[in-house]
Amino acid sequence: MKSLLKYFKSSLGFKIAVLLMLMIITLMSIVTYIFTIRELNLRTDQVKLRMEQLAKNIATIRSVETENWDIYQTYINNQVHLYDDIVYIAIFDEQDELKIYTLNQNWIDLGNRNTISKLEEANIVIQLEQRQIASDSQKDLESKSVNIIIGERNLGTVKVGFSLVQINDEIRYNLFLNLGLGIAFTLIAIVLAYYISHRIVTPLKRLTMAMLRISQGHFDEQVNIRSNDEVGDLARTFNYMTQGLSEKQLIQKFNAELGFTIDLLKIADLITNRITSGLRAENGYLFLQDNANLNTFRLMSRFPKFEYEEMRLIRNPQICELFLDQRKPLALDIFKGFNEFNRCLAKLNLGENSLVCPIVTKEKVDAILVLDEKKDGNPYTDDELQFLNTLIGQASFAIESAMLYQELTEQERLKHELEIAKKIQQSLLPQQNPASVGLEIDGICLPANEVGGDYYDFFKINDQTIGIAIADVTGKGTSAAFYMAVVKGIMISLSSVIESPRDLMIELNKRLYGTMDRRVFITMIYAMVNVETKQLRFARAGHNALLYRNTKRNTVDALTPEGIGLGLENGTIFDATVEEAELKLASGDMLVFYTDGVTEAMNKDLKEYSEQKLISIITQSNDASAAKLRKSILNDINRFVNDAPQHDDITLVTVRVL
């Protein structure tokens, strides 16, 4: 008994039978409700509504006509003849006395009599109205009652009794019919369930036994199920699984081996070796994207291994589009229209059944595996191509990981080199502010990135004169830093021999023009201050204004003598444009040199700091030292930008005349 219950609980055939029966019962219940009970209920409601409307019509006629009751007898008699489901119509006066009535004798059992008297009819009507009928006939008789109202007077009541026998008989008939059909369909469902469950469960049992034997080590197990349904597909998949167990083991081993290395060259050798051996091909060749020449794929590995010359495949954009569209191994004849690519393949002496397999990572063809024909000379089967696709997928992931690691390694190397470049660049800037008897000088450079293109420097011309330079190279990064170093080297050599800021600018432009990229130029201010005479001379090459604070007048002027950027042209225009300006300084006066990173510093709303804010801070400096003025400016900039990132280099030199 317990085993039988266990069978019912776990048997798939039993579950299928129960499911089919539940479906049949549910379907028949829905059909019974929609097409029998619901339909007949609607018909019943319609009959009741019709009878109620008839009673209202009679009541309405009575309320507007004469009080002579007898003249309405003909009308109600006609209604009974018109509607054969009316059993009686009775009109009572306000004392509830029966005044007029009609009885449809077809609904009355008269026994052996053919007719009855009017008094008997009246008694029958009253009995029917008082529901003095057999209990089994109660549900077959319904009545509707409507009061006869004139103004506020109640003249009586119209009562219409009608039969539901026909409708109730139809309900009973249809219910019995549906019950019979339900039983018949349930029996059919049981037979179908047995047949279907047998067709499904029997092959599944055979598959279960075969899988048990597989678990015991019988890897050659096969099942013979010829059906063309899902069970047949399952059997064919099972047979394919047993045939491909060795392939699965190879895939697992291949995946494990790929996981043990991230070196791109080792991965290339592993891929070529395992795929060529696994597919029993004569030779395998793996070509990787050449980073030095993006238009070619370079041969990175070959199996079997032996010495081979440098070989490349042309990276044809149309072929790459074909690879991305197909994403599967392709036969050699597909490439007949690509002559240059074919000439490269011809050097490999491939057999006619060879394959070209793209290795795609992130919608990009990063490698190509060329697989020679099989050692037995037969074409690759569909199963072998599917197996090859699986191995190619693993190879694609391994190559992507190795290339990502290589890229990250290169990024780390570049980051380290940038840190070194930053230290070198910082060493090119003044390590300390110059000490002078007549001047107080302070300077700072804050690059936006690891290295920047801003530059400032101080030069001791002689015991009385100090040179001050500030410059901004267009662009950022290593190229801008390189030109900054070039400018410093030239300035060191020129500042000691050329005493005029204008002449120095002209010579600097000549030297830079021959070495600079035409897309790059440099803005600069070079000033010379005589601490004894307090005389300032300076020239400007397209740079921001030199801000001069006159302590006596408490004004700040933006000094902008003519001049274009360095390196823009060979000197014809530059020499004629650059202008040298002079200014007499007094004790307490201040000079502010800055790059555009100061005035163009932006907050999160992309609003710039502006020259007006800078001038305002300088105006409020009063007797501040050069260092204090520099700190005030930077603090105000930091308050303005708040947490917004720095987008340009900030360089600032402040000078106070003692």
Q: What is the pLDDT of residue 140?
A: 80
Q: Where are the beta strands (DSSP E) in 123-198?
A: 141-150, 153-163
Q: What is the pLDDT of residue 297?
A: 87
Same domain for 433 and 336?
A: no
Q: What is the pLDDT of residue 35?
A: 63
Average pLDDT over residues 153-167: 83
Same domain for 379 and 476?
A: no
Q: What is the pLDDT of residue 471?
A: 93
For residues 487 and 508, is the Cβ–Cβ distance under 8 A?
yes
**Residue 421: in which H helix or E strand, if any?**
helix 382-428
Q: What is the pLDDT of residue 7?
A: 46
Question: For the domain that residue 129 is a member of, what is the CATH number?
Answer: 3.30.450
At 537, is the pLDDT very low, low, confident or very high (cuts 50, 70, 90)? very high
Residue 151 falls within a domain, yes or no? Answer: yes
- SS3 assignment for 464-495: CEEEEEEEEECCCHHHHHHHHHHHHHHHHHHH
| 287-291, 454-458, 512-516, range with greatest mean pLDDT | 454-458
**Residue 547: in which H helix or E strand, if any?**
strand 546-550
Residue 211 falls within a domain, yes or no? Answer: no
Q: What is the pLDDT of residue 305?
A: 73
Same domain for 387 and 444?
A: no
For residues 636 and 628, is the Cβ–Cβ distance under 8 A?
no
Residue 207 falls within a domain, yes or no? Answer: no
Interhelix angle for 477-495 vs 382-428, to 10°? 30
Residue 300 falls within a domain, yes or no? Answer: yes
Q: What's the one-letter identity of residue 147?
A: N
User: Does 653 score more than 70 pLDDT?
Assistant: yes
Range of lowest pLDDT (4-8, 246-250, 423-427): 4-8
Q: What is the pLDDT of residue 106?
A: 81
For residues 270 and 261, is the Cβ–Cβ distance under 8 A?
yes
Same domain for 401 and 440?
A: no
Same domain for 283 and 164?
A: no
Q: What is the pLDDT of residue 235?
A: 72
For residues 408 and 130, the model is more confident at: 130
For residues 292 and 310, is the Cβ–Cβ distance under 8 A?
no
Average pLDDT over residues 184-200: 75
- The total of other beta-carbon atoms located within 10 Å of residue 323's CB is 20
Same domain for 397 and 535?
A: no
At 655, is the pLDDT very low, low, confident or very high (cuts 50, 70, 90)? very high
Tokens of 136: 């089994």
Q: What is the pLDDT of residue 325?
A: 86
Q: What is the pLDDT of residue 441?
A: 94
Q: Work out whether strand 522-530 and strand 555-559 pair parallel, antiparallel, or are unpaired.
A: unpaired
User: Does 145 score more than 90 pLDDT?
Assistant: no
Same domain for 370 and 437?
A: no
Q: What is the pLDDT of residue 64?
A: 52
Between CA 570 and CA 587 the distance in angstroms is: 40
Range of lowest pLDDT (164-168, 329-333, 652-656): 164-168
Which residues touch 63 (CB under 8 Å, ≥6 apart)? 148, 149, 150, 155
Q: What is the pLDDT of residue 508?
A: 93
Domain extent, residue 91, equals 6-169
Q: What is the pLDDT of residue 479?
A: 73
Same domain for 436 and 372?
A: no
Average pLDDT over residues 444-459: 82
Q: What is the pLDDT of residue 36?
A: 67
Residue 214 falls within a domain, yes or no? Answer: no
Range of lowest pLDDT (138-152, 231-245, 327-341, 642-656): 231-245
Same domain for 457 and 383?
A: no
Number of domains in the chain: 3
Which residues touch 14 (CB under 8 Å, ≥6 apart)? 7, 8, 197
At 549, is the pLDDT very low, low, confident or very high (cuts 50, 70, 90)? very high
SS3 237: helix
Average pLDDT over residues 602-616: 92
Q: Work out whether strand 153-163 and strand 312-314 pair parallel, antiparallel, or are unpaired.
A: unpaired
Domain end point (choices 169, 197, 226)? 169
Among residues 326, 286, 290, 328, which one has the least CA distance to residue 303?
286
Which residues touch 598 (CB under 8 Å, ≥6 apart)? 609, 614, 633, 637, 650, 651, 652
Residue 205 falls within a domain, yes or no? Answer: no
Same domain for 644 and 547?
A: yes
Tokens of 476: 């950022």
Q: What is the pLDDT of residue 575?
A: 93
Residue 368 falls within a domain, yes or no? Answer: yes
At 450, is the pLDDT very low, low, confident or very high (cuts 50, 70, 90)? low
Question: For the domain that residue 463 is a member of, what is the CATH number?
Answer: 3.60.40.10
Residue 419 falls within a domain, yes or no? Answer: no
- The total of other beta-carbon atoms located within 10 Å of residue 654's CB is 29
Q: What is the pLDDT of residue 243?
A: 57
Question: For the domain that residue 296 is a member of, what is the CATH number?
Answer: 3.30.450.40
Domain end point (choices 145, 169, 193)? 169
pLDDT tens figures, 471-487: 998 876 677 777 888 88
Q: Work out whether strand 555-559 and strand 580-584 pair parallel, antiparallel, or are unpaired.
A: unpaired
Domain end point (choices 129, 151, 169)? 169
Q: What is the pLDDT of residue 531?
A: 92
Among residues 381, 546, 517, 382, which one has the least CA distance to residue 453?
517
Q: Work out whether strand 153-163 and strand 284-289 pair parallel, antiparallel, or are unpaired.
A: unpaired
The DSSP bridge partners found for residue 465 are 530
Q: Position of tokens 């600079």?
A: 516
What is the share, in percent, of the chain residues with pLDDT greater than 90? 23
For residues 43 and 63, the model is more confident at: 43
C-alpha dist (Å) from residue 438 to 348, 459, 572: 80, 15, 38
Same domain for 93 and 16?
A: yes
The chain-wide mean pLDDT, for the chain, equals 82
Q: What's the residue count for the chain?
A: 658
Tokens of 175: 């219910």
Between CA 92 and CA 185 the distance in angstroms is: 54
Q: What is the pLDDT of residue 8?
A: 47
Same domain for 469 and 581?
A: yes
Among residues 528, 589, 525, 526, which one has the least CA distance to residue 557?
589
pLDDT tens figures, 55-114: 888 887 755 555 666 667 878 888 888 888 888 888 888 888 888 888 888 888 777 777
Between CA 398 and CA 383 the distance in angstroms is: 23
